[in-house]
Structure 1
């Protein structure tokens, strides 16, 4: 019974996917943090341009 517990691979795949998802989340957060100030300026200019284009 104890041997079966240690040799079972039933939850291995889900743990691997969870670790991969966490790694991707960390990479996204790091990328957004590194370019955070630049992205704010880009989105601010885009929003201003869009609002001026749709205003009567």
Structure 2
């Protein structure tokens, strides 16, 4: 049962990350800022997403 729940949570995390990447690329932030946000989310997936939701590029 643990593997099934972990796989489901991993799938949800992947979907949220793809959504974040699309929003980052579509934002008006500079290219450098976009790269830093994407790298931050890739290196620290959960923490990076939380920080992005709170302080990420808007628009």
User: TM-score scaled to structure 1, two decimals?
Assistant: 0.44
- The structure showing larger relative contact order (alpha-carbon pairs under 8 Å, at least 6 residues apart) is 2
Q: Which has the larger radius of gyration?
A: 1
User: TM-score scaled to structure 2, two decimals?
Assistant: 0.42
